Chain A
Amino acid sequence: MDDDQVFKALADPTRRHLLDRLFERDGRTLTELESELEMTRFGVMKHLRVLEDAGLVVPRREGREKLHFLNPVPIRLIHDRWIDKYTEHRVAALADLKNELEESA
Protein backbone atom coordinates (compact mmCIF):
# COMPACT_ATOMS: atom_id res chain seq x y z
CA MET A 1 0.00 0.00 0.00
CA ASP A 2 1.41 3.38 -0.91
CA ASP A 3 0.50 7.01 -1.45
CA ASP A 4 -0.23 6.40 -5.14
CA GLN A 5 -3.09 4.08 -4.30
CA VAL A 6 -4.52 6.54 -1.79
CA PHE A 7 -4.37 9.46 -4.26
CA LYS A 8 -5.86 7.27 -6.98
CA ALA A 9 -8.67 6.12 -4.69
CA LEU A 10 -9.44 9.72 -3.71
CA ALA A 11 -9.42 10.91 -7.32
CA ASP A 12 -12.95 9.72 -7.98
CA PRO A 13 -16.16 11.47 -6.86
CA THR A 14 -18.09 8.24 -6.22
CA ARG A 15 -15.36 6.93 -3.96
CA ARG A 16 -15.15 10.23 -2.07
CA HIS A 17 -18.91 10.06 -1.72
CA LEU A 18 -18.64 6.56 -0.25
CA LEU A 19 -16.07 7.81 2.27
CA ASP A 20 -18.39 10.66 3.24
CA ARG A 21 -21.26 8.21 3.77
CA LEU A 22 -19.04 6.11 6.03
CA PHE A 23 -17.85 9.22 7.83
CA GLU A 24 -21.47 9.97 8.74
CA ARG A 25 -22.17 6.44 9.85
CA ASP A 26 -19.49 3.83 9.94
CA GLY A 27 -19.60 0.05 9.70
CA ARG A 28 -22.09 -0.43 6.86
CA THR A 29 -22.92 -3.36 4.62
CA LEU A 30 -22.65 -3.28 0.85
CA THR A 31 -26.45 -3.38 0.64
CA GLU A 32 -26.77 -0.25 2.80
CA LEU A 33 -24.16 1.64 0.80
CA GLU A 34 -25.67 0.55 -2.49
CA SER A 35 -29.11 1.84 -1.50
CA GLU A 36 -27.71 5.39 -1.27
CA LEU A 37 -26.03 5.41 -4.65
CA GLU A 38 -27.49 5.32 -8.11
CA MET A 39 -25.21 2.57 -9.18
CA THR A 40 -25.25 -1.18 -9.63
CA ARG A 41 -24.15 -3.45 -6.81
CA PHE A 42 -21.22 -4.49 -8.96
CA GLY A 43 -20.18 -0.86 -9.46
CA VAL A 44 -20.25 -0.14 -5.73
CA MET A 45 -18.27 -3.32 -5.06
CA LYS A 46 -15.63 -2.24 -7.55
CA HIS A 47 -15.24 1.16 -5.91
CA LEU A 48 -15.12 -0.37 -2.44
CA ARG A 49 -12.39 -2.67 -3.64
CA VAL A 50 -10.23 0.27 -4.73
CA LEU A 51 -10.82 1.94 -1.35
CA GLU A 52 -9.90 -1.30 0.43
CA ASP A 53 -6.71 -1.70 -1.59
CA ALA A 54 -5.72 1.82 -0.59
CA GLY A 55 -6.45 1.01 3.06
CA LEU A 56 -9.13 3.71 3.25
CA VAL A 57 -11.87 1.18 3.92
CA VAL A 58 -11.39 -1.82 6.17
CA PRO A 59 -13.89 -4.66 5.86
CA ARG A 60 -14.71 -6.68 8.96
CA ARG A 61 -16.93 -9.69 9.45
CA GLU A 62 -19.52 -9.41 12.15
CA GLY A 63 -21.66 -12.50 12.36
CA ARG A 64 -22.93 -13.15 8.87
CA GLU A 65 -22.39 -9.61 7.70
CA LYS A 66 -19.42 -7.92 6.13
CA LEU A 67 -19.22 -4.37 7.46
CA HIS A 68 -17.19 -1.60 5.89
CA PHE A 69 -15.32 0.80 8.13
CA LEU A 70 -13.69 4.07 7.17
CA ASN A 71 -9.99 4.10 8.01
CA PRO A 72 -8.76 7.70 8.12
CA VAL A 73 -5.12 6.84 8.87
CA PRO A 74 -3.89 6.93 5.23
CA ILE A 75 -5.35 10.43 4.89
CA ARG A 76 -3.56 11.46 8.04
CA LEU A 77 -0.31 10.06 6.64
CA ILE A 78 -0.79 12.06 3.45
CA HIS A 79 -1.44 15.08 5.58
CA ASP A 80 1.77 14.50 7.55
CA ARG A 81 3.78 13.87 4.40
CA TRP A 82 2.31 16.34 1.92
CA ILE A 83 0.64 19.12 3.84
CA ASP A 84 2.42 19.63 7.15
CA LYS A 85 5.76 19.72 5.41
CA TYR A 86 4.89 22.58 3.08
CA THR A 87 2.82 24.64 5.47
CA GLU A 88 5.52 24.33 8.10
CA HIS A 89 8.11 25.55 5.63
CA ARG A 90 5.99 28.58 4.85
CA VAL A 91 5.55 29.37 8.53
CA ALA A 92 9.28 29.00 9.08
CA ALA A 93 10.02 31.28 6.11
CA LEU A 94 7.77 33.96 7.57
CA ALA A 95 9.42 33.59 10.95
CA ASP A 96 12.85 34.01 9.33
CA LEU A 97 11.68 37.08 7.46
CA LYS A 98 10.35 38.59 10.67
CA ASN A 99 13.67 37.97 12.42
CA GLU A 100 15.66 39.48 9.58
CA LEU A 101 13.48 42.57 9.37
CA GLU A 102 13.63 43.08 13.10
CA GLU A 103 17.39 42.68 13.17
CA SER A 104 17.93 45.19 10.40
CA ALA A 105 15.49 47.66 11.94
Chain B
Amino acid sequence: MTTMTAQTTQVYSVFIKATPEQVWDAITKPDFTEQYFFGARIDIKDGRRLTTLGEMEWDEEVLEAEAPTRLVHRFVAAYDPDMGAEEPSRVTWEIEPQDGGITKLTVVHDQLESAPKTAESVAGGWMYILSGLKTLLETGKPLAG
Protein backbone atom coordinates (compact mmCIF):
# COMPACT_ATOMS: atom_id res chain seq x y z
CA MET B 1 0.00 0.00 0.00
CA THR B 2 1.49 3.28 -1.08
CA THR B 3 0.65 6.43 0.78
CA MET B 4 -1.22 9.13 -0.97
CA THR B 5 0.55 12.41 -1.57
CA ALA B 6 -1.82 15.21 -0.79
CA GLN B 7 -3.26 16.39 -4.08
CA THR B 8 -3.53 20.11 -4.74
CA THR B 9 -6.57 19.51 -6.94
CA GLN B 10 -9.06 16.90 -5.80
CA VAL B 11 -12.15 15.81 -7.71
CA TYR B 12 -15.13 13.93 -6.26
CA SER B 13 -18.24 12.99 -8.16
CA VAL B 14 -21.47 11.19 -7.38
CA PHE B 15 -24.75 10.42 -9.19
CA ILE B 16 -27.82 11.08 -7.08
CA LYS B 17 -31.45 10.21 -7.77
CA ALA B 18 -32.77 13.71 -7.07
CA THR B 19 -33.40 16.98 -8.89
CA PRO B 20 -30.73 19.69 -9.18
CA GLU B 21 -32.90 21.87 -6.90
CA GLN B 22 -32.92 19.19 -4.20
CA VAL B 23 -29.15 18.86 -4.42
CA TRP B 24 -28.77 22.62 -4.26
CA ASP B 25 -30.93 22.81 -1.13
CA ALA B 26 -28.99 19.97 0.45
CA ILE B 27 -25.70 21.85 0.11
CA THR B 28 -26.93 25.35 0.97
CA LYS B 29 -29.39 24.82 3.82
CA PRO B 30 -28.25 24.10 7.39
CA ASP B 31 -31.11 21.70 8.23
CA PHE B 32 -29.78 19.43 5.47
CA THR B 33 -26.05 19.88 5.93
CA GLU B 34 -26.11 18.96 9.59
CA GLN B 35 -27.34 15.49 8.62
CA TYR B 36 -24.35 14.58 6.47
CA PHE B 37 -21.61 17.24 6.87
CA PHE B 38 -20.11 16.02 10.15
CA GLY B 39 -23.00 17.75 11.94
CA ALA B 40 -22.06 21.19 10.62
CA ARG B 41 -24.85 23.68 9.98
CA ILE B 42 -23.90 25.50 6.78
CA ASP B 43 -25.78 28.49 5.45
CA ILE B 44 -25.14 30.39 2.22
CA LYS B 45 -26.17 33.98 2.83
CA ASP B 46 -25.18 37.44 1.58
CA GLY B 47 -22.10 36.24 -0.25
CA ARG B 48 -20.79 34.28 2.74
CA ARG B 49 -20.79 30.63 3.65
CA LEU B 50 -21.46 30.46 7.37
CA THR B 51 -20.62 27.30 9.26
CA THR B 52 -21.65 26.42 12.79
CA LEU B 53 -20.13 23.31 14.30
CA GLY B 54 -20.76 22.76 18.00
CA GLU B 55 -19.55 25.95 19.64
CA MET B 56 -17.39 26.98 16.69
CA GLU B 57 -18.47 29.39 14.04
CA TRP B 58 -16.68 30.67 10.97
CA ASP B 59 -17.39 31.92 7.49
CA GLU B 60 -15.87 31.84 4.04
CA GLU B 61 -16.31 34.01 0.97
CA VAL B 62 -18.74 32.83 -1.72
CA LEU B 63 -17.13 33.44 -5.11
CA GLU B 64 -20.03 32.32 -7.34
CA ALA B 65 -23.56 31.18 -6.58
CA GLU B 66 -25.85 30.20 -9.44
CA ALA B 67 -28.74 28.18 -8.06
CA PRO B 68 -29.19 25.31 -8.76
CA THR B 69 -26.11 24.52 -10.84
CA ARG B 70 -22.96 26.07 -9.46
CA LEU B 71 -21.50 27.16 -6.14
CA VAL B 72 -17.90 28.28 -5.64
CA HIS B 73 -16.52 29.30 -2.29
CA ARG B 74 -13.31 29.68 -0.33
CA PHE B 75 -12.49 26.88 2.06
CA VAL B 76 -10.77 27.21 5.42
CA ALA B 77 -10.54 24.20 7.74
CA ALA B 78 -11.23 26.43 10.74
CA TYR B 79 -12.29 23.42 12.85
CA ASP B 80 -8.61 22.61 13.35
CA PRO B 81 -6.08 25.23 14.54
CA ASP B 82 -3.17 23.94 12.37
CA MET B 83 -5.20 23.62 9.22
CA GLY B 84 -7.20 26.76 9.94
CA ALA B 85 -3.96 28.77 9.85
CA GLU B 86 -3.25 27.67 6.27
CA GLU B 87 -4.13 29.75 3.20
CA PRO B 88 -7.76 29.51 2.04
CA SER B 89 -8.35 27.02 -0.78
CA ARG B 90 -11.33 26.81 -3.13
CA VAL B 91 -14.30 24.45 -3.46
CA THR B 92 -16.49 24.27 -6.59
CA TRP B 93 -19.81 22.39 -6.57
CA GLU B 94 -21.13 21.55 -10.03
CA ILE B 95 -24.67 20.23 -10.33
CA GLU B 96 -25.66 18.74 -13.71
CA PRO B 97 -28.98 17.09 -14.54
CA GLN B 98 -28.70 13.70 -16.32
CA ASP B 99 -31.27 11.46 -17.96
CA GLY B 100 -33.76 9.53 -15.84
CA GLY B 101 -34.14 11.91 -12.89
CA ILE B 102 -30.49 11.60 -11.95
CA THR B 103 -28.26 14.52 -11.02
CA LYS B 104 -24.50 14.47 -11.20
CA LEU B 105 -22.75 16.31 -8.41
CA THR B 106 -19.05 17.08 -8.78
CA VAL B 107 -16.93 18.68 -6.07
CA VAL B 108 -13.58 20.12 -7.08
CA HIS B 109 -11.37 21.16 -4.18
CA ASP B 110 -8.39 23.05 -5.57
CA GLN B 111 -5.91 25.85 -4.88
CA LEU B 112 -4.57 23.65 -2.08
CA GLU B 113 -0.91 24.45 -2.86
CA SER B 114 -0.52 26.53 0.30
CA ALA B 115 -2.65 24.28 2.46
CA PRO B 116 -0.88 20.89 2.53
CA LYS B 117 -2.34 19.76 5.87
CA THR B 118 -5.84 20.61 4.71
CA ALA B 119 -5.21 18.83 1.39
CA GLU B 120 -4.23 15.67 3.21
CA SER B 121 -7.06 15.81 5.69
CA VAL B 122 -10.08 16.55 3.45
CA ALA B 123 -9.72 13.61 1.04
CA GLY B 124 -11.51 11.08 3.24
CA GLY B 125 -13.91 13.75 4.39
CA TRP B 126 -15.31 14.56 0.96
CA MET B 127 -15.86 10.89 0.27
CA TYR B 128 -17.83 10.51 3.49
CA ILE B 129 -19.80 13.71 2.87
CA LEU B 130 -20.83 12.85 -0.71
CA SER B 131 -21.74 9.31 0.24
CA GLY B 132 -23.85 10.67 3.10
CA LEU B 133 -25.45 13.32 0.90
CA LYS B 134 -26.48 10.69 -1.66
CA THR B 135 -27.95 8.46 1.04
CA LEU B 136 -29.84 11.36 2.62
CA LEU B 137 -31.39 12.52 -0.67
CA GLU B 138 -32.27 9.03 -1.86
CA THR B 139 -33.60 7.56 1.37
CA GLY B 140 -34.45 10.63 3.45
CA LYS B 141 -32.23 9.26 6.18
CA PRO B 142 -28.67 10.10 7.24
CA LEU B 143 -25.94 7.50 6.68
CA ALA B 144 -25.84 5.04 9.56
CA GLY B 145 -22.75 4.82 11.74
Stretch at the interface among A17-25, A31-39, A43-51, A95-103: A17-25
Count chain A residues whose beta carbon lies closer than 8 angstroms to a beta carbon of B.
21
| Distance to closest chain A CB from B142 (angstroms) | 12
Is A24's CB under 8 angstroms from B2's CB? Answer: yes
Closest-by-CB residue of B relative to A84 is: B145
The reply on B56 being an interface residue by CB < 8 A is no
| Distance to closest chain B CB from A22 (angstroms) | 9
Query: Interface 1/0s, chain A 51-92, versus B by CB < 8 A?
Result: 000010010100000000111111011001000100010000
Cα distance A73–B143 in the bound complex, in angstroms: 14
Selected from A20, A24, A58, A77, the residue in CB contact (under 8 A) with B106 is A58
Contacts of B123 in A (CB 8 A): 72
Closest-by-CB residue of A relative to B9 is: A27
The reply on B13 being an interface residue by CB < 8 A is yes
Contacts of A1 in B (CB 8 A): 15
Is A76's CB under 8 angstroms from B131's CB? Answer: yes
The reply on B85 being an interface residue by CB < 8 A is no
Further contacts, 8 of them, CB under 8 A, given A1-B15, A24-B5, A60-B108: A58-B13, A58-B106, A70-B11, A72-B12, A73-B131, A76-B131, A77-B131, A88-B145
